[in-house]
Amino acid sequence: MLLYPHHQRTVDRLIDRFKDDANTLALIIGGSLVKGYGNESSDVDFVLIATTDEYARREATRALTYYATDLSDYPGGYVDGKIVNVAFLEEVADRGSEPARSAFENVIVAYSQLPQLADLLHCITAYPEAHHVEKIRSFYAQLLAMQWYVGEAEKHNNCYLMMHTVSDLVLFGGRLILAHNRMLYPYHKWFLRTLQDAPAKPDDLMTLIDHLLNEPNKANADRLCEAILNFTAWPTPPEGWPARFMEDTEWAWRTGSAAIADW
Protein backbone atom coordinates (compact mmCIF):
# COMPACT_ATOMS: atom_id res chain seq x y z
CA MET A 1 0.00 0.00 0.00
CA LEU A 2 1.29 3.47 -0.92
CA LEU A 3 -0.78 6.12 0.86
CA TYR A 4 1.00 9.45 1.16
CA PRO A 5 -0.07 11.94 3.87
CA HIS A 6 -1.95 14.09 1.34
CA HIS A 7 -3.82 11.00 0.13
CA GLN A 8 -4.76 10.15 3.73
CA ARG A 9 -6.10 13.68 4.18
CA THR A 10 -8.18 13.19 1.05
CA VAL A 11 -9.52 9.89 2.38
CA ASP A 12 -10.39 11.52 5.70
CA ARG A 13 -12.37 14.23 3.90
CA LEU A 14 -14.08 11.59 1.79
CA ILE A 15 -15.15 9.77 4.95
CA ASP A 16 -16.45 13.01 6.46
CA ARG A 17 -18.51 13.70 3.33
CA PHE A 18 -20.34 10.36 3.35
CA LYS A 19 -20.25 8.73 6.80
CA ASP A 20 -23.37 10.51 8.09
CA ASP A 21 -25.29 10.08 4.84
CA ALA A 22 -28.23 7.75 5.52
CA ASN A 23 -28.11 6.63 1.88
CA THR A 24 -24.65 5.08 2.15
CA LEU A 25 -23.62 1.93 3.98
CA ALA A 26 -19.87 1.64 3.41
CA LEU A 27 -16.88 3.30 1.80
CA ILE A 28 -14.03 1.31 0.29
CA ILE A 29 -10.71 2.79 -0.85
CA GLY A 30 -9.15 1.02 -3.84
CA GLY A 31 -7.15 1.74 -6.98
CA SER A 32 -3.43 1.98 -7.58
CA LEU A 33 -2.64 3.36 -4.14
CA VAL A 34 -3.85 0.32 -2.20
CA LYS A 35 -2.21 -2.01 -4.74
CA GLY A 36 1.13 -0.31 -4.14
CA TYR A 37 1.34 0.95 -7.73
CA GLY A 38 0.58 4.61 -7.09
CA ASN A 39 2.77 7.66 -6.69
CA GLU A 40 2.51 11.09 -5.08
CA SER A 41 0.29 12.46 -7.85
CA SER A 42 -2.15 9.52 -7.93
CA ASP A 43 -5.85 10.15 -7.49
CA VAL A 44 -7.91 8.44 -4.79
CA ASP A 45 -10.23 5.72 -6.13
CA PHE A 46 -13.13 4.50 -4.07
CA VAL A 47 -16.32 2.45 -4.08
CA LEU A 48 -19.36 3.76 -2.24
CA ILE A 49 -21.91 1.14 -1.21
CA ALA A 50 -25.36 2.70 -1.30
CA THR A 51 -28.65 1.51 0.14
CA THR A 52 -30.95 -0.41 -2.17
CA ASP A 53 -33.25 2.60 -2.63
CA GLU A 54 -30.40 5.04 -3.26
CA TYR A 55 -28.79 2.71 -5.78
CA ALA A 56 -32.12 2.29 -7.62
CA ARG A 57 -32.54 6.06 -7.76
CA ARG A 58 -29.04 6.53 -9.12
CA GLU A 59 -29.31 3.61 -11.53
CA ALA A 60 -32.43 5.14 -13.06
CA THR A 61 -30.43 8.22 -14.06
CA ARG A 62 -27.10 6.37 -14.49
CA ALA A 63 -25.56 8.54 -11.79
CA LEU A 64 -23.25 5.75 -10.66
CA THR A 65 -19.94 7.62 -10.56
CA TYR A 66 -18.59 10.37 -8.35
CA TYR A 67 -15.81 12.82 -9.16
CA ALA A 68 -14.60 15.73 -7.05
CA THR A 69 -11.51 17.92 -6.77
CA ASP A 70 -12.46 19.83 -3.63
CA LEU A 71 -11.48 16.99 -1.27
CA SER A 72 -7.81 17.03 -2.31
CA ASP A 73 -5.21 19.63 -1.34
CA TYR A 74 -2.39 18.55 -3.68
CA PRO A 75 -1.82 19.68 -7.28
CA GLY A 76 -4.01 17.75 -9.70
CA GLY A 77 -5.59 15.70 -6.93
CA TYR A 78 -9.11 14.34 -7.15
CA VAL A 79 -11.34 11.50 -6.01
CA ASP A 80 -12.89 9.09 -8.50
CA GLY A 81 -15.60 6.75 -7.29
CA LYS A 82 -18.19 4.20 -8.29
CA ILE A 83 -21.53 3.73 -6.54
CA VAL A 84 -22.76 0.15 -6.08
CA ASN A 85 -25.00 -1.74 -3.68
CA VAL A 86 -24.77 -4.99 -1.75
CA ALA A 87 -26.50 -6.89 -4.57
CA PHE A 88 -23.74 -5.74 -6.93
CA LEU A 89 -21.07 -7.09 -4.58
CA GLU A 90 -22.94 -10.39 -4.36
CA GLU A 91 -23.01 -10.56 -8.17
CA VAL A 92 -19.25 -10.00 -8.36
CA ALA A 93 -18.68 -12.71 -5.74
CA ASP A 94 -20.91 -15.12 -7.67
CA ARG A 95 -19.94 -14.51 -11.30
CA GLY A 96 -17.72 -11.46 -11.61
CA SER A 97 -14.98 -11.26 -14.23
CA GLU A 98 -11.37 -11.30 -13.08
CA PRO A 99 -10.97 -7.52 -13.57
CA ALA A 100 -14.14 -6.96 -11.52
CA ARG A 101 -12.74 -9.16 -8.75
CA SER A 102 -9.25 -7.69 -8.94
CA ALA A 103 -10.62 -4.20 -8.33
CA PHE A 104 -11.35 -5.27 -4.73
CA GLU A 105 -7.94 -6.76 -3.96
CA ASN A 106 -6.18 -5.11 -0.99
CA VAL A 107 -8.91 -2.51 -0.57
CA ILE A 108 -9.22 -0.47 2.62
CA VAL A 109 -12.64 -0.39 4.28
CA ALA A 110 -12.84 3.24 5.39
CA TYR A 111 -16.13 2.70 7.21
CA SER A 112 -18.92 0.14 7.06
CA GLN A 113 -22.34 -0.65 8.49
CA LEU A 114 -22.33 -4.04 6.75
CA PRO A 115 -21.40 -7.00 8.98
CA GLN A 116 -21.14 -9.24 5.89
CA LEU A 117 -18.71 -6.97 4.01
CA ALA A 118 -15.50 -8.75 5.03
CA ASP A 119 -16.89 -12.13 3.93
CA LEU A 120 -18.12 -10.65 0.64
CA LEU A 121 -14.72 -9.13 -0.11
CA HIS A 122 -13.05 -12.44 0.68
CA CYS A 123 -15.33 -14.26 -1.79
CA ILE A 124 -14.88 -11.59 -4.44
CA THR A 125 -11.09 -11.67 -4.39
CA ALA A 126 -10.78 -15.47 -4.31
CA TYR A 127 -9.46 -16.91 -7.57
CA PRO A 128 -12.41 -18.49 -9.49
CA GLU A 129 -11.18 -22.07 -9.31
CA ALA A 130 -14.27 -23.60 -10.93
CA HIS A 131 -13.32 -22.18 -14.35
CA HIS A 132 -9.56 -22.60 -14.04
CA VAL A 133 -8.93 -25.40 -16.54
CA GLU A 134 -11.38 -24.17 -19.17
CA LYS A 135 -9.91 -20.68 -19.03
CA ILE A 136 -6.44 -22.08 -19.59
CA ARG A 137 -7.68 -24.08 -22.58
CA SER A 138 -9.28 -20.98 -24.07
CA PHE A 139 -6.23 -18.78 -23.48
CA TYR A 140 -4.03 -21.50 -24.98
CA ALA A 141 -6.18 -21.48 -28.12
CA GLN A 142 -6.01 -17.69 -28.33
CA LEU A 143 -2.22 -17.73 -28.02
CA LEU A 144 -1.82 -20.20 -30.88
CA ALA A 145 -4.30 -18.27 -33.01
CA MET A 146 -2.38 -15.03 -32.43
CA GLN A 147 0.89 -16.77 -33.30
CA TRP A 148 -0.64 -17.77 -36.63
CA TYR A 149 -2.04 -14.27 -37.22
CA VAL A 150 1.39 -12.69 -36.64
CA GLY A 151 2.69 -14.81 -39.49
CA GLU A 152 -0.19 -13.66 -41.68
CA ALA A 153 0.41 -10.02 -40.78
CA GLU A 154 4.08 -10.28 -41.65
CA LYS A 155 3.36 -12.15 -44.89
CA HIS A 156 0.89 -9.51 -46.08
CA ASN A 157 2.72 -6.51 -44.61
CA ASN A 158 -0.45 -5.68 -42.65
CA CYS A 159 0.65 -3.23 -39.96
CA TYR A 160 -2.76 -2.97 -38.29
CA LEU A 161 -3.11 -6.74 -37.99
CA MET A 162 0.44 -7.01 -36.65
CA MET A 163 -0.06 -4.42 -33.89
CA HIS A 164 -3.46 -5.77 -32.87
CA THR A 165 -2.28 -9.37 -32.88
CA VAL A 166 0.95 -8.74 -30.98
CA SER A 167 -1.00 -7.02 -28.18
CA ASP A 168 -3.38 -9.98 -27.95
CA LEU A 169 -0.53 -12.47 -28.09
CA VAL A 170 1.07 -10.78 -25.07
CA LEU A 171 -2.30 -10.59 -23.34
CA PHE A 172 -3.25 -14.25 -23.71
CA GLY A 173 0.26 -15.55 -23.15
CA GLY A 174 0.37 -13.50 -19.98
CA ARG A 175 -3.07 -14.65 -18.93
CA LEU A 176 -1.91 -18.24 -19.20
CA ILE A 177 0.86 -17.41 -16.74
CA LEU A 178 -1.47 -15.55 -14.39
CA ALA A 179 -3.92 -18.46 -14.48
CA HIS A 180 -1.09 -20.89 -13.79
CA ASN A 181 -0.27 -18.82 -10.68
CA ARG A 182 -3.96 -18.41 -9.85
CA MET A 183 -3.58 -14.63 -9.93
CA LEU A 184 -6.45 -12.38 -10.97
CA TYR A 185 -6.10 -10.41 -14.19
CA PRO A 186 -6.35 -6.69 -13.26
CA TYR A 187 -7.21 -5.37 -16.76
CA HIS A 188 -4.76 -3.69 -19.10
CA LYS A 189 -3.35 -0.81 -17.04
CA TRP A 190 -1.68 -2.99 -14.41
CA PHE A 191 -1.47 -6.21 -16.42
CA LEU A 192 2.28 -6.25 -17.07
CA ARG A 193 3.04 -5.05 -13.54
CA THR A 194 1.00 -7.94 -12.11
CA LEU A 195 2.54 -10.39 -14.56
CA GLN A 196 6.01 -9.29 -13.47
CA ASP A 197 5.06 -10.20 -9.89
CA ALA A 198 3.97 -13.74 -10.82
CA PRO A 199 6.32 -16.13 -8.99
CA ALA A 200 6.13 -18.99 -11.51
CA LYS A 201 6.94 -17.90 -15.06
CA PRO A 202 9.65 -18.32 -17.70
CA ASP A 203 12.81 -16.60 -16.51
CA ASP A 204 13.02 -14.33 -19.53
CA LEU A 205 9.29 -13.71 -19.95
CA MET A 206 9.26 -9.95 -19.41
CA THR A 207 12.31 -9.46 -21.64
CA LEU A 208 10.68 -11.46 -24.44
CA ILE A 209 7.51 -9.40 -24.09
CA ASP A 210 9.48 -6.16 -24.29
CA HIS A 211 11.29 -7.35 -27.40
CA LEU A 212 8.02 -8.27 -29.11
CA LEU A 213 6.24 -5.04 -28.22
CA ASN A 214 9.19 -2.94 -29.36
CA GLU A 215 9.92 -5.02 -32.46
CA PRO A 216 6.68 -6.73 -33.52
CA ASN A 217 7.57 -9.53 -35.92
CA LYS A 218 7.11 -13.28 -36.32
CA ALA A 219 10.55 -14.19 -34.98
CA ASN A 220 10.00 -12.38 -31.68
CA ALA A 221 6.44 -13.71 -31.45
CA ASP A 222 7.67 -17.27 -31.94
CA ARG A 223 10.30 -16.85 -29.21
CA LEU A 224 7.72 -15.63 -26.72
CA CYS A 225 5.24 -18.37 -27.64
CA GLU A 226 7.92 -21.05 -27.34
CA ALA A 227 8.88 -19.86 -23.85
CA ILE A 228 5.28 -19.90 -22.66
CA LEU A 229 4.17 -23.11 -24.37
CA ASN A 230 7.20 -25.03 -23.07
CA PHE A 231 6.90 -23.64 -19.55
CA THR A 232 4.52 -26.37 -18.35
CA ALA A 233 2.20 -29.10 -19.61
CA TRP A 234 -0.80 -26.89 -20.32
CA PRO A 235 -4.31 -28.37 -20.46
CA THR A 236 -5.23 -28.08 -24.13
CA PRO A 237 -8.71 -27.87 -25.71
CA PRO A 238 -9.72 -31.43 -26.66
CA GLU A 239 -11.54 -30.14 -29.74
CA GLY A 240 -8.35 -28.43 -30.97
CA TRP A 241 -7.33 -24.80 -30.74
CA PRO A 242 -9.00 -23.65 -34.01
CA ALA A 243 -12.44 -24.83 -32.88
CA ARG A 244 -12.01 -23.35 -29.40
CA PHE A 245 -10.83 -20.04 -30.88
CA MET A 246 -13.80 -19.96 -33.23
CA GLU A 247 -16.32 -20.54 -30.45
CA ASP A 248 -14.69 -18.12 -28.00
CA THR A 249 -14.14 -15.31 -30.50
CA GLU A 250 -15.99 -15.51 -33.82
CA TRP A 251 -19.08 -17.18 -32.37
CA ALA A 252 -19.15 -15.66 -28.88
CA TRP A 253 -22.23 -13.65 -29.86
CA ARG A 254 -24.24 -16.87 -30.04
CA THR A 255 -24.05 -17.41 -26.27
CA GLY A 256 -23.95 -13.76 -25.27
CA SER A 257 -20.58 -14.32 -23.62
CA ALA A 258 -18.34 -11.45 -22.68
CA ALA A 259 -15.32 -10.89 -24.90
CA ILE A 260 -12.67 -13.39 -23.86
CA ALA A 261 -10.19 -10.55 -23.19
CA ASP A 262 -12.47 -9.43 -20.34
CA TRP A 263 -12.96 -12.81 -18.65
pTM for the structure as a whole: 0.94
Q: Which of 125, 144, 159 is the last residue of a domain?
A: 125
Residues 111 and 137 occupy one common structural domain: no
On whether both 193 and 235 belong to a single domain, the answer is yes
- Tens digits of residue pLDDT in 15-39: 999 999 999 999 999 999 998 888 9
114 and 172 co-located in one domain: no
Same domain, 216 and 202: yes
Q: Is the pLDDT of residue 90 over 90?
A: yes
Domain check: are 186 and 210 in the same one? yes
pLDDT interval class at 130 (50, 70, 90): very high
Q: Which of 69, 98, 125 is the last residue of a domain?
A: 125
Q: Could you say which of 125, 158, 187 is where a domain stops?
A: 125
Cβ atoms of residues 39 and 4 within 8 Å: no
Looking at the fold, whether 213 and 102 belong to one and the same domain comes out as no
Backbone phi, psi, residue 174, to 5°: -65, -35
137 with 255, same domain? Answer: yes
What 8-state DSSP symbol labels residue 129?
G
pLDDT at 2: 64
CA separation for the pair 114, 64 (Å, rounded): 20
pLDDT score recorded for residue 92: 98
89 and 186 belong to one structural domain: no
Among the listed residues 68, 67, 74, the one whose alpha carbon sits nearest the alpha carbon of residue 7: 74
- Other CB atoms closer than 10 Å to residue 101's CB: what's the count? 20
Q: State the average pLDDT for the chain.
A: 96
CATH of the domain at 9: 3.30.460.10
Per-residue pLDDT of 62-84, as tens digits, reads 999 999 999 999 999 999 999 99
- 186: containing domain: 131-262
Q: Within this chain, do residues 82 and 172 fall inside the same structural domain, yes or no? A: no
Question: Domain total for the chain?
Answer: 2
Domain check: are 141 and 253 in the same one?
yes
Alpha helices, H only, 112-260: 117-125, 132-155, 159-180, 191-196, 205-214, 218-229, 241-245
* pLDDT tens by residue, 142-179: 999 999 999 999 999 999 999 999 999 999 999 999 99
